[in-house]
Amino acid sequence: MSLTQLSVTIQADPPKRLDKALSRDVPAEAALSRTRLAKLMADGMVTREGEALTDPKGRVAEGDVIEITVPQAEESHIGPEEIALDVIYEDDDLIVINKPVGMVVHPAPGTPSGTLVNALLHHCGDTLSGVGGSKRPGIVHRIDKDTSGLLVVAKSDKAHHGLAAQFEKHTVERYYQAVCYGVPDANDPRVRGVKGVNFETGNIMKITTQLARHKTDRQRQAVLFEGGRHAVTRVRIVEAFGSPEVAALVECWLETGRTHQIRVHMAHAGHSLIGDQTYGGRRKLSEKTLGIRGVNAAKDFPRQALHAAVLGFVHPVTGDEMRFEAPLPSDMTKLIEAMRVGPKG
């Protein structure tokens, strides 16, 4: 196994914990995250004067010289698969994909193959320099199987570390387009009475709650106001459908990025997404208001009408501002066109 030796001198006023001190003082070009450093410690690859330092909470002092042995990245246990990908952008450090509906991002017990990771292992091949000690793509965020749209994936440890930090700080720009039941308008007294929902200038609905895994259904998320994780979603009406209006194309953007955040927040506000069987079910729409084509299109839509349309971030290696857009997929375009026809169509 090929090994790289790295010598790190602890600088002035170090954090008390070894892992935090190393995270601060390891050269940026080494691209060793705190998680990666912890694994190297556990494997006996971090030493001081020949003594292995295996406790991340261990003490450290200014001037200590820490030796780190970094093994070459190993082949991933996940198998590559030749699956077509819609690549929006790619360089040596990252790749941006327009994920289709129906593709799972990462292998799991129920979906061990056919995932985005399997496809990327085949597509990227030897260009993966290693993430967390393994030659695999670095997944820093996910979108649901039946949500389409943009994902950025790291190809190197340095990119993985930098992208993960941006997602943790909520500085990544993420805009989604969705089709929902009802119209989330500030003039609607019902929605103004929903806890956690208020309106900002420009008729922008802001939803602020805590989110946590549902107590009885582990596949769902639940809205809380104590405990859980802080979550903020903003929603703007793009187009309303029906006469009177009974559905809308909306733009949603995330201040935070929690599991199912847009879906559960929109359902909480009373505007669940068309096709969302987990949080919304199928509501009855009237042909008198929407027309038979619109009603049938909504009734038959097979998945949540949600698309990750815009993704913006700072390139973790070059520092360049990156921003990508993906057009609506054909199924959502057809849904919108059918709903535009209205009762006279």
CB neighbourhood size of 201 (10 A): 6
Integer Cα distance of 150 and 241 in angstroms: 26
Catalytic residue numbers read 144
The secondary element (H helix, E strand) that includes residue 101 is none
Query: In 10 A of CB 34, how many CB atoms?
Result: 15
Q: Which residues pair with 9 in a beta bridge?
A: 65
Q: Which runs of E-coded beta strand occur in the chain?
A: 3-9, 46-48, 51-52, 65-71, 74-75, 87-90, 94-99, 134-135, 138-139, 148-154, 173-181, 197-200, 204-213, 221-224, 229-241, 247-254, 306-314, 321-325
Can the peptide bond before residue 244 be classed as cis, meaning omega within 30 degrees of 0? yes
Decide: 78 and 107 in contact? Cβ < 8 Å: yes
DSSP strand pairing (321-325 vs 148-154): unpaired
According to DSSP, residue 310 is labeled E
Give, in degrees to the nearest 5, the angle at Cα 101 between 325 and 238.
Answer: 50
C-alpha closest to that of 144 among 280, 262, 282:
262
Q: How far apart are CA 212 and CA 226, in angstroms?
A: 10
Interstrand relation of 148-154 and 306-314 (parallel, antiparallel or unpaired): parallel
Q: Buried b / exposed e across 314-327, counting CB within 10 Å, b at 16+? A: bbbbeeeebebebe
3-state class of 266 per DSSP? helix
Is residue 179 within 8 A of residue 335, CB to CB? The reply is yes
